[in-house]
Structure 1
Amino acid sequence: MEPFPKKGYAGQQIMRKPTIQDVARQAGVGVGTVSRVLNNHVAVKGATRELVLKAIADLDYTPNPHARRIAGGKSYTISVLLPVLTTEFYVRLLDGLETAFQEARYDVAIFPLLDRSRLERYLGSHTLAYQADGLVMATYNLTQMFHERRLRTQQPTVLVDAYAEHVDSSFMDNVAGGRMAGEYAVTLPGDLYAVWVETELDQLFTTRVFEDRRKGFLGALQTAGRTPAAEYTSSFDSLAARNTASAMLDQAQATGLPCTIFASADMLAGALLDELRLRGLKAGEDVRVIGFDDQPWAEARGLTTLHQPVESMGYEAAQLLLTRLNGYKGPARARRFEPRLVVRTSA
C-alpha cells in the first residue's frame, strides 16, 4: 500500500489517513458509490461493490462516523426498547440484532423499559429513543397502542418477539411451542403440573408470550382428555422461582410421584432441577421436567425443553428494519419462527 504523505514541519513527511476520495479514485468509481457501499445500499452491482471493498481493504480506510452522520443526514443508530437486560433470552436476542446491524454499520442504543412508567415516557416522540433512524420494540403486546396511534414512530419500526398486524414483526409461535410441550407431557406417567411466568396485568405493558404458551399447553391437554393437577405462577426472579418450585414439589410429593411439570421458561425449570437435587429426587424418574427456551446451559443439565432460535429471530427483525431503511415501502411483513422439542434426560 502506498502511503499518503503530506508535508509537516521542516519539510518532514507525516502519514495522513486515506479519505473516501482516495477509495473512489483507487476503485475507479464516484464518491457516491463508495458511500452507498459503506451504507450497505442495495443499489450497487456486485462487481462494483467488490472493487470498492477491495480498495477499502488495500488502503486500510476507516470511515469517519461523525462525517458520515453529517453527510447522510442520518444518525446511523438503531434504538432497541426491551423489557430487561439481565435474562439470557434478551442477551441472545440482542446478539442477533447487533450482529445484523453491525454488518450494516449501524450502532445500537439500548433502552430497558423495566416498568410501565418508562414505556409511558418513551411514548413521547421527542425522547432520545426516537432520535435514531429506526426502532426495535421487543416482546410487549403493543397492538392496541399502534391502533390508537399512541406510538409516534416517524421512523421505521419493527417488533421482535411480538406481533402486530400493521408493523413488521419477527416472532416465535409460542402457542405451537406450548402445544408441543403438552402433546409430549401427556405421554408421560403421573399427574401433570405447570408453572407460568407472572406478567404485568395492565394491558398497556404486557406480553402475550406466556399466555400463548399456556393456551397451547392446555389445548393439547384438553385434546388428550387431561387436565393439570395444579398450575403455579412465579415472577421472573430466581428466589421466587425457587420458592415456587418448593411449593410445587410439596404438593406433588403429597399427592404421589411420579409426575411431570411443564416450566414455561428454562429459568423456572432450572429452579425445579435444583430443588429436586436438594430433596434427593431424580429428574426424569420421580419428576419429569420440561422447560422452554433451550438456554445455553440446558444441554449440560440434561433439560428437556423447547428450543427457540432466538438469535435468528433477532437477526431477521434487524433485516426487516434494514430493508425499510434502504427504501422498502411495501406492506408489513411477518416472520414466524417455530420452536422444536429437544428431549433430554429430565423428561
Structure 2
Amino acid sequence: MHKPTIQDVARLAGVGVGTVSRVLNNHAAVRDSTRQTVLSAIRDLEYVPNPHARRIAGGKSYTISILLPVITTEFYVRLLDGLESAFQEARYDVAIFPLLDRSRLERYLGSHTLAYQADGLVMATYNLTQMLSENRLRDQQPMVLVDAYADGVDCARMDNHLGGRMAGQFLAQQPGYSYAVWVETELDQIFTSRVFEERSAGFHAAMAEAGRTVSGEFISSFDAHAARTVAGQVLDAAQFPATIFASADLLAGALLDEAQVRGIAVGSDLKVLGFDDQPWAAARGLSTLHQPVEAMAYEAATLLLARLSGYRGPPRVRTFEPRLVLRSSTGDS
C-alpha cells in the first residue's frame, strides 16, 4: 500500500505543504480552523511524519535535553511526565541527563556534550545563580528552569517559602511538641538546591511569629532506607503528643511506617504533615502540602516552546503555590 506523504495530507486538507509543516511543528502562525483541517487529514490518512526528514528539512534536532538531579524519586517521575506531555504534543523528543555528581555537571558544561546538541535545555531544581553569573552555562540555545529560579532566565517554580510558612502555621496551632525533618540536598558547594532551604526559612519564620519553638530537627538523605532510619531516630527522641513536619512525603511515609510498627496512635499522639501530595498520600491518609508538579513542569515546557517558536521577550517567571490538604495523619477527616 502507498504510504501517505506530507503532500497527500496537503492535498486532502487543501493547503500547501508549508502549512502542514507548520501544523506539525505546532507553529503559532496557523489559524485554528486550518490547523483542525490539517489535523483531521492527518488522522484520516493515518499519516506518520518521518522524524529524520523533519530534522533535515528544518535544520533542527527536535530534541529537548532535560538535566535533573535524579530520575528515581516520585517527584522527578511526575516532573518528567509533565515535561514530556507538553514536548510530545509539540512533537519534540526528550533526552534525559541525570546529574548525579559534580563530575557529570562539569562534563555537561563542556562545549561539545550531547546535552547541548538539542534545540532547548531544561534544568531542574538546582540553584544555578552562580553558574549563570559566571557564564559557566552555555547559552546557544533557549533554556528554562523548573522547580528553581534565577535572574535572567525563564522559570517555573513552586513558592516553597510559602509552603514552609503554611506548615509552620499549622504546627504552631497544634498542642504538644513540634519537630521537623529536612532533606539533605547538597551534593557539593556548587551543586545545590534552594527548595528545602526555602521551606525551612518559611517554616521557622511562621513558628517564630507564633512564639513557638521547634523541639528537634533532623536531616535525612532522599532515600527510602535512610528515611526509615531517621524516622526511628525522630520517634526515639520525640516527646508526645508531637506534631512532625516532614519536608517531603517520602520522609512522612517513613514516619507513618515506623509509628505503625511501634503502635503509636497517628492522628492523636503523633501528627504527621508532609509536603508534595504524592499519588499514594490520600490512600495513606497523609496530611500534606499539595504541589501541582505536573502543571509546573508543563508550564516550564510551554515557556521553552514559546522561545523555540520565536518569542524574544524578557524572562518570564511562573510561580505556583502549594495547598494544605488535611487528612487522618493529623486527626482530620
Same topology, TM > 0.5:
yes
State the match for 1:219 in structure 2: 205
CA displacement, residues 216-252 of structure 1 (integer Å, 9 cap, x when unaligned): 0000000001110111111111121111111111111
Letter of the 1:318 partner, please give it: A
| 1:83–1:112 CA contact under 8 A, matched in 2 | yes
Whole-angstrom distance in 2 between the partners of 1:159 and 1:250: 40
State the match for 1:249 in structure 2: 235
Given candidates 331, 334, 347, the residue that maps to 2:314 is 331
State the match for 1:276 in structure 2: 259
CA displacement, residues 251-287 of structure 1 (integer Å, 9 cap, x when unaligned): 11xxx31011100000000111111011110111111
Given candidates 171, 179, 184, the residue that maps to 1:198 is 184
State the match for 1:267 in structure 2: 250
- What are the equivalent positions in structure 2 for 1:1-347 lying under 5 Å apart? 15-200=1-186, 202-252=188-238, 256-347=239-330
CA displacement, residues 46-67 of structure 1 (integer Å, 9 cap, x when unaligned): 1211221122122221111110
Structure 1 residue 201, shift from structure 2 partner: 5.9
Deviating beyond 4 angstroms after TM superposition, the runs of 4 or more aligned structure 1 residues are none
Whole-angstrom distance in 2 between the partners of 1:87 and 1:298: 15
Where do 5+ consecutive residues of structure 1 fail to align? 1-14
Whole-angstrom distance in 1 between the partners of 2:226 and 2:6: 56
Whole-angstrom distance in 1 between the partners of 2:190 and 2:139: 17
Q: TM-score, normalised by structure 2?
A: 0.98
Q: TM-score, normalised by structure 1?
A: 0.94
Whole-angstrom distance in 2 between the partners of 1:71 and 1:249: 62
Letter of the 2:231 partner, please give it: A
DSSP-derived class of the 1:75 partner = coil
Letter of the 2:171 partner, please give it: A
Choose 45-54 or 104-113, whichever is displaced more: 45-54
Instruction: Give the number of aligned pairs.
Output: 330
DSSP-derived class of the 2:297 partner = helix
| 1:125–1:153 CA contact under 8 A, matched in 2 | no
| 1:259–1:288 CA contact under 8 A, matched in 2 | yes
DSSP-derived class of the 1:85 partner = coil
Whole-angstrom distance in 2 between the partners of 1:280 and 1:55: 63
Letter of the 1:159 partner, please give it: L
Letter of the 1:229 partner, please give it: S
Identity of aligned residues (%): 74
Whole-angstrom distance in 1 between the partners of 2:294 and 2:88: 14
Where do 5+ consecutive residues of structure 2 fail to align? none
Whole-angstrom distance in 2 between the partners of 1:108 and 1:307: 27
| 2:176–2:240 CA contact under 8 A, matched in 1 | yes
CA displacement, residues 77-120 of structure 1 (integer Å, 9 cap, x when unaligned): 10000000110000000000000001000111100111111111
Whole-angstrom distance in 2 between the partners of 1:36 and 1:54: 15
Letter of the 2:81 partner, please give it: D
Structure 1 residue 202, shift from structure 2 partner: 3.0
DSSP-derived class of the 2:181 partner = strand
Structure 1 residue 133, shift from structure 2 partner: 0.6
| 1:82–1:137 CA contact under 8 A, matched in 2 | yes
Structure 1 residue 153, shift from structure 2 partner: 2.4
Choose 42-51 or 95-104, whichever is displaced more: 42-51
CA displacement, residues 304-330 of structure 1 (integer Å, 9 cap, x when unaligned): 100010000000000000000000000
Larger radius of gyration: 1
Choose 328-337 or 49-58, whichever is displaced more: 49-58
Structure 1 residue 125, shift from structure 2 partner: 2.5
Whole-angstrom distance in 2 between the partners of 1:22 and 1:280: 69
DSSP-derived class of the 2:49 partner = coil
Whole-angstrom distance in 1 between the partners of 2:285 and 2:42: 48
DSSP-derived class of the 2:190 partner = helix
Whole-angstrom distance in 1 between the partners of 2:36 and 2:57: 23
| 1:37–1:49 CA contact under 8 A, matched in 2 | yes
DSSP-derived class of the 1:114 partner = coil
Whole-angstrom distance in 2 between the partners of 1:60 and 1:202: 51
